[in-house]
Structure 1
Amino acid sequence: MEAYIEIQAPACAVSVENIDQPKRRSANYHPTIWGDFFLSYGSNVKENNSSKEAKEHQRLKEEVRKMILGTPNESWKKLDLIDTIQRLGVSYQFETEIGAALGLIYKDYDHHDSEYDEKFKQENGNELHTTALRFRLLRQHGYDVSSDVFKKFKDPEGNFKESLSTNTRGLLSLYEAANYRIHGEEILEEALNYSTSQLEKMLPSLDNLLASQVKQALDVPIQKALTRMRTRQFISLYQEDKSHDPSLLNFAKYDFKILQKLHQEEVSGITKWWKGLDCPKNIPFARDRVVECFLWIIGVYFEPKYSVARTRMTKVIALASILDDLYDVYGTVDELILFTDSLDRWHISELDGLPEYMRPCYQGLLDVCSEIETGSSKKGKKNPANYAISSVFNKLFLGLF
């Protein structure tokens, strides 16, 4: 018997048009809500800079410095002052003074814990507050302090003492301290649950100022807060506090305003750079979130000395966001393999071999790396940014294949 093999034509032929223009996915990202809002900030900042403002800022800074140096390390007032300065967002101006003070506090704390506690108790009568505040400040600054200091606030049955239940300030400090717990610290886990429960119970009966502080802490504790947003909130709360120090408050206001102007100038420049890429036209599939990327970097470092780093890192992260959408949503497998190989070779000559829509992404990466290298070279520093960043992107996306 003769065998036959029947060969059938495919149900539908694949056209050249379908190959050249593959079906693309879309995440339907909403457009940016900012538009050109930040473009005008650059000129406004320069117009509003005031030498008189700068002089007053410097004068108040020296007053606060004297305040720090003039407050004894053995006093609970030093702890409160450091905490207030940190919450007002100006501790970066006094890193040396605060670092030295906390170093001495830790040294005495480590060797004379009971003496410190007794002295603080006699001074302000709120041992829970000072113990928790000291613990938190030292942990914030990287000191290895034991959570055993909170054992004395427990009764023989292992519960927190009943007398603590009405100590709002102490409970608030305990709550903030407990958020700096590490794995396995059961007493701080218990402290967090206890302080949270007690603060929630007393919240309706607190005065407006204290209620605002407690609600803010319960929503987002210091350990998890975005520094600059919390700073703006605390300046308003501190102003309402009748015991506030006028010089410290005014210094914080000046400092916030000056730093805000710097951040506005930065985001204006970044927005101009981003508009130069013309993402809605050239890269329509990607998220337009450059302002959000800038906010992210401010959460990492907001200080003036990191101004250049903020701008550069925002650009890098914004481009990484585009690449994320390129790999996750828009590109085909063949295109992405091609793009990944180009990242590996990292040279401008690779542009011609890439699909048209990929070229702005690749060019943007090359330009940012070149900008970083040029800036570093002007300062006499060796900074192989092209190699470093290309290596990071290559390792990040090569793992997808």
Structure 2
Amino acid sequence: MASQASQVLASPHPAISSENRPKADFHPGIWGDMFIICPDTDIDAATELQYEELKAQVRKMIMEPVDDSNQKLPFIDAVQRLGVSYHFEKEIEDELENIYRDTNNNDADTDLYTTALRFRLLREHGFGISCDAFNKFKDEAGNFKPSLTSDVQGLLELYEASYMRVHGEDILDEAISFTTAQLTLALPTLNHPLSEQVGHALK
């Protein structure tokens, strides 16, 4: 973890909210059961080799250069949700540090989903990212823009990101109220698997 980033978060703010943050139950099944099912201790050499090859592929995907560092965010999130990020701690930390450094350069055109996902992942890893990035999603009256209500995936990510708030971050307090109301309204109209993800997060 970048010590500089950790200090930015730790020194000017108290600890992140201790509320139990619900997390949407996503289904990133691109690797099937390979990582999900824990192998027996007596696995054969061929299976062990398959595991190592798969880990090498994932590691390469995390580290592979891209034009926009924000493109890495959904993949890193999927790896974490699968519970296998401990295999790639250094690679994930390095990529998030790059994303943190590029935040100001890549923020202007990012949508709600990307902005919220980046905020959540960086806060989870101790980087001192500011919640000011969400100001662009408010209108002149200081309310969240009505157009956001059609972006359910973005609302869901903002809902989760809001639980990484610290004391005094009023915009994230407002975001929890706004997203809870909008996601509750949208839930009956959603299709699977998004309906399941939203329902799980709101529990």
Q: TM-score, normalised by structure 2?
A: 0.76
Out of 158, 164, 168, the position equivalent to 1:184 is 168
Which residue of structure 1 aligns with residue 107 of structure 2?
117
How far has the Cα of 1:117 moved from its partner? 2.2
Which residue of structure 1 aligns with residue 3 of structure 2?
none
Q: Structure 2: any 5+ residue segments left out of the alignment?
A: 1-39
Which residue of structure 2 aligns with residue 75 of structure 1?
69
Pair 81,71 (structure 1): closer, same or farther in 2 beyond 3 Å? farther
**C-alpha separation in 2, matches of 1:71 and 1:128:** 24
2:188 is the counterpart of 1:204: yes
2:193 is the counterpart of 1:217: no
Which residue of structure 2 aligns with residue 57 of structure 1?
51
Find runs of 4+ consecutive structure 1 residues off by over 4 angstroms. none
How far has the Cα of 1:208 moved from its partner? 1.1
CA-atom RMSD in angstroms: 1.7
Which residue of structure 1 aligns with residue 139 of structure 2?
155
2:53 is the counterpart of 1:84: no
Q: Structure 1: any 5+ residue segments left out of the alignment?
A: 1-44, 122-126, 220-401
2:102 is the counterpart of 1:102: no
Describe how 1:20-31 pairs up with structure 2 within 5 A.
none
**C-alpha separation in 2, matches of 1:71 and 1:217:** 32
How far has the Cα of 1:52 moved from its partner? 2.5
Out of 188, 194, 209, the position equivalent to 2:178 is 194
How far has the Cα of 1:74 moved from its partner? 2.5
3-state SS in 1 of match to 2:193: helix
Which is helix-richer, 1 or 2?
Answer: 1
Q: Is the 8 A contact 1:68 1:81 kept in 2?
A: yes
How far has the Cα of 1:49 moved from its partner? 3.2
What are the Cα deviations for residues 337-390 of structure 1, in whole angstroms up to 9, with x where unaligned?
Answer: xxxxxxxxxxxxxxxxxxxxxxxxxxxxxxxxxxxxxxxxxxxxxxxxxxxxxx
Which residue of structure 2 aligns with residue 274 of structure 1?
none
Q: Is the 8 A contact 1:178 1:188 kept in 2?
A: yes
**C-alpha separation in 2, matches of 1:178 and 1:164:** 16
Pair 211,143 (structure 1): closer, same or farther in 2 beyond 3 Å? same
- Aligned pairs, number: 165
Describe how 1:313-352 pairs up with structure 2 within 5 A.
none
2:126 is the counterpart of 1:138: no
How far has the Cα of 1:73 moved from its partner? 6.9
Q: Is the 8 A contact 1:74 1:105 kept in 2?
A: no
**C-alpha separation in 2, matches of 1:76 and 1:108:** 9
**C-alpha separation in 2, matches of 1:203 and 1:100:** 36
**C-alpha separation in 2, matches of 1:131 and 1:141:** 16
**C-alpha separation in 1, matches of 2:196 and 2:78:** 16
**C-alpha separation in 2, matches of 1:198 and 1:206:** 12
**C-alpha separation in 1, matches of 2:67 and 2:57:** 18
Q: Which has the higher contact order (CA 8 A, sep 6+)?
A: 2
**C-alpha separation in 1, matches of 2:184 and 2:150:** 12
3-state SS in 1 of match to 2:127: coil
How far has the Cα of 1:62 moved from its partner? 0.5
Q: Is the 8 A contact 1:128 1:171 kept in 2?
A: yes
How far has the Cα of 1:51 moved from its partner? 3.0
**C-alpha separation in 2, matches of 1:72 and 1:218:** 34
Q: Is the 8 A contact 2:69 2:99 kept in 1?
A: no
Which residue of structure 2 aligns with residue 242 of structure 1?
none
What are the Cα deviations for residues 315-350 of structure 1, in whole angstroms up to 9, with x where unaligned?
Answer: xxxxxxxxxxxxxxxxxxxxxxxxxxxxxxxxxxxx
Structure 2: which amino acid aligns with 1:55?
L
**C-alpha separation in 1, matches of 2:132 and 2:122:** 14
Q: Is the 8 A contact 1:174 1:191 kept in 2?
A: yes
Q: Percent identity?
A: 49
